[in-house]
Amino acid sequence: MNLNDLPVGQAQRVKSIGQLVDYPELTSQLEDIGFIPGEQVIILRKNSFGGDPIIVRIGLSTFAIRKKEASLIEVGI
């Protein structure tokens, strides 16, 4: 399951981060802000009109990310 599919309010752990062919540095940017394997992540809110942005909490930080970015983050228990 990827982060984009996670329901609002459900916590999971980051398993891995994929990579976009046309934007390879996105993976390291996501890791730099805390999306690393083992970290707990929770969706706080999704925009009801198309889902962008998605508001997530990772560790003690809260971020707004796009659905495209969230689809790269694999989560699970």
* CATH code given to domain 3-76: 2.30.30.90
Q: What pTM does this model have?
A: 0.86
pLDDT of 34: 92
Q: Would you say 14 and 73 are in contact if contact means Cβ atoms under 8 Å apart?
A: yes
> Alpha-carbon distance 14 to 34, whole Å?
10
Mean pLDDT of 24-44: 92
In the 3-class helix/strand/coil scheme, how is 48-65 assigned residue by residue? CCCCCCEEEEECCEEEEE
Tell me, what's the pLDDT at 14? 95
> 3-26, pLDDT tens digit by residue?
999 999 999 999 999 887 788 888
Nearest to 63 by CA among 38, 49, 48, 43: 43
CA distance 65 to 14: 15
pLDDT of 63 over the 90 cut: yes
